[in-house]
C-alpha cells in the first residue's frame, strides 16, 4: 500500500505516515494538491494532510482544497510534534550560529534560539532544511526538524524536544477515493466533517447552529472562509461528534439543511483515541 504526503522524506507529514501506516510506502509530493492527486490518479491508496496545529493554528490552504478534492476523509491522526536541533556530526552547540527551518517551526522554538543566541533563517520546509544542512560543510549552520529527519540525513541532535510548547500537536486527515463503511454502532465514537454555506438571510448562522444545541451535538471545530474573493459569500467547515445515522445528529443536520444553500459531508470516521486523553 502507498500513501502520499506533502514534503520531503523526514518531514512531519512523513512521520505521520509512518505512525498511521507503518507498513505503507510513503510518496513525497511538492504540494498538498499533488498529494491528493496521487490518490485520485490511483498512484496511492491514501493521502495524509495536516489541517491544524495546536500552536500555529489552521493550515489555511487545505480548507480550500478539501471540498474540491473529490476525496473522502476516512480517518484522523494526531502527531506530537517534537523539534530537534540537528547539525553535522562532530559539531558542538557553541559552534552553531544559524538555524534553518520552515518559518512556522522557527516561531515554535524562540526561547531556545534566543537563549543560545542562534539566528533564525527561513527555509523551504523542515526536512528540506535538514537536507541542505547535511549537504553543506558549514558547521555553524543547523536545522530544526523532526527526529526522523536527523536519522534520514545523518545529522546529530544538539538539542532534543526544544519546542516552546510541550503539548505541540498537529492533526492530520487521512483521505481516500472510497468512503469507509462506517455504519453507526452504539459503542463506537464517531466524528463527522461537513462543509456548508448558509442562506443569505438575517441570523442564518445562528439559526443553523441551533439544531446542534437543541439535539445535544457537540461541534468541536468551526471555521469560516471566503469564496471566490467575495465578502458576502462565506463557507463553513465543521467537525462534529457523532454519526449521521445517529438520531440526534440526523435531526441536527436536517435542521441545518433548512438554513443552508449547500451542505456536504466530507467524511464519517472513527474518533481518534487521542481526543479521549487530551480533552
CATH code, domain with 130: 3.40.190.10
Say if 16 falls within a structural domain: yes
Give burial (CB, 10 Å; 0-12/13-18/19+) of 177.
middle
Asked whether residue 164 is domain-assigned, the answer is: no
Q: Are residues 133 and 98 in the same domain?
A: yes
* Number of domains forming the structure of the chain: 3
Residue 185 lies in a domain: no
Vertex 208: Cα angle to 207 and 214 (nearest 5): 80
Which grid coordinates belong to 96?
552553531
Residue 182 lies in a domain: no
pLDDT at 240: 96
**Confidence band (pLDDT; 50, 70, 90) for 233?**
low
- Structure-derived torsion over alpha carbons of residues 109, 169, 102, 85, reported in degrees to the nearest 10: 50
**274 — phi, psi (to 5°)?**
-55, -40
The answer to whether position 183 is within a domain reads no
Which range (109-123, 190-204, 206-220) has the least confidence? 190-204
* Segments forming the whole domain that contains residue 219: 190-277
Q: Which member of 21, 78, 112, 170 is catalytic?
A: 170
User: Has residue 192 got a pLDDT over 90?
Assistant: yes
- Bridge partners (DSSP) listed for residue 87: 156
- The closest alpha carbon to 268, from 159, 193, 212, belongs to 193
- Tell me, yes or no, whether 70 and 90 share the same domain: no
Q: Are 251 and 213 in contact (CB under 8 A)?
A: no
The residue out of 123, 142, 176 marking a domain boundary is 176
Are both 69 and 40 inside the same structural domain? Answer: yes
d(CA 158, CA 269): 40
Q: Is 170 a catalytic residue?
A: yes
Q: Which residues contact 227 (CB under 8 A, 6 or more apart)?
A: 197, 233, 234, 235
CB 193 within 8 A of CB 51: no
Q: 207 and 265 share a domain?
A: yes
Q: Is 193 a catalytic residue?
A: no
In a domain, 103, yes or no: yes
Percent of the chain surpassing pLDDT 70 = 95
Using the structure block, give the residue that is written with the C-alpha cell 446542534. 212
Q: What is the distance between the alpha carbons of residues 58 and 22, in angstroms, rounded to a whole number?
A: 26
Of 117, 142, 176, the residue at which a domain comes to its end is 176
Asked whether residue 115 is domain-assigned, the answer is yes
Helices and strands counted in the chain (H then E): 10, 15
pLDDT at 65: 87
From the candidates 21, 32, 78, 172, give the one annotated as an active-site residue. Answer: 172
Tell me how far apart the alpha carbons of residues 245 and 224 are, in angstroms, rounded to a whole number: 26
How large is the average pLDDT for residues 163-187?
Answer: 84
Given a cut of 80, whether residue 180 has pLDDT beyond it is no
Single pTM value for the model: 0.89
**pLDDT tens digits, 22-74:** 999 999 999 999 999 999 999 999 999 999 988 777 887 887 888 888 999 99
Amino acid at each position: 500500500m502507498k500513501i502520499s504526503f506533502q514534503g520531503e522524506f523526514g518531514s512531519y507529514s512523513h512521520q505521520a505516515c509512518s505512525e498511521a501506516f507503518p507498513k505503507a510506502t510513503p510518496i513525497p509530493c511538492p504540494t498538498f494538491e499533488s498529494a491528493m492527486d496521487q490518490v485520485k490518479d490511483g498512484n496511492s491508496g491514501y493521502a495524509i494532510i495536516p489541517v491544524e496545529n495546536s500552536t500555529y493554528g489552521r493550515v489555511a490552504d487545505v480548507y480550500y482544497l478539501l471540498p474540491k478534492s473529490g476525496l473522502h476523509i476516512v480517518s484522523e491522526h494526531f502527531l506530537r510534534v517534537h523539534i530537534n536541533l540537528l547539525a553535522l556530526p562532530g559539531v558542538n552547540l557553541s559552534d552553531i550560529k544559524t538555524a534553518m527551518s520552515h518559518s512556522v517551526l522557527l516561531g515554535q522554538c524562540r526561547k531556545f534560539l534566543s537563549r543560545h543566541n542562534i539566528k533564525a533563517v527561513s527555509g523551504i520546509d523542515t526536512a528540506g532544511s535538514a537536507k541542505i544542512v547535511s549537504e553543506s560543510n558549514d558547521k555553524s549552520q543547523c536545522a530544526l526538524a523532526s527526529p526522523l529527519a536527523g536519522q534520514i540525513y545523518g545529522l546529530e541532535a544538539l538539542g532534543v524536544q526544544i519546542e516552546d510548547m510541550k503539548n505541540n500537536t498537529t492533526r492530520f486527515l487521512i483521505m481516500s477515493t472510497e468512503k469507509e463503511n462506517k455504519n453507526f454502532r452504539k459503542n463506537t465514537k464517531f466524528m463527522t466533517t461537513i462543509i456548508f454555506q448558509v442562506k443569505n438571510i438575517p441570523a442564518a448562522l445562528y439559526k443553523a447552529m441551533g439544531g446542534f444545541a437543541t439535539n445535544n451535538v457537540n461541534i468541536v471545530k468551526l471555521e469560516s472562509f471566503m469564496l471566490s474573493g467575495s465578502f458576502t459569500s462565506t463557507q463553513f467547515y465543521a467537525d462534529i461528534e457523532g454519526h449521521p445515522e445517529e438520531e440526534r445528529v440526523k435531526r441536527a443536520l436536517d435542521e441545518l439543511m433548512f438554513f443552508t444553500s449547500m451542505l456536504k459531508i466530507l467524511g464519517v470516521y472513527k474518533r481518534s483515541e487521542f481526543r479521549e486523553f487530551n480533552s
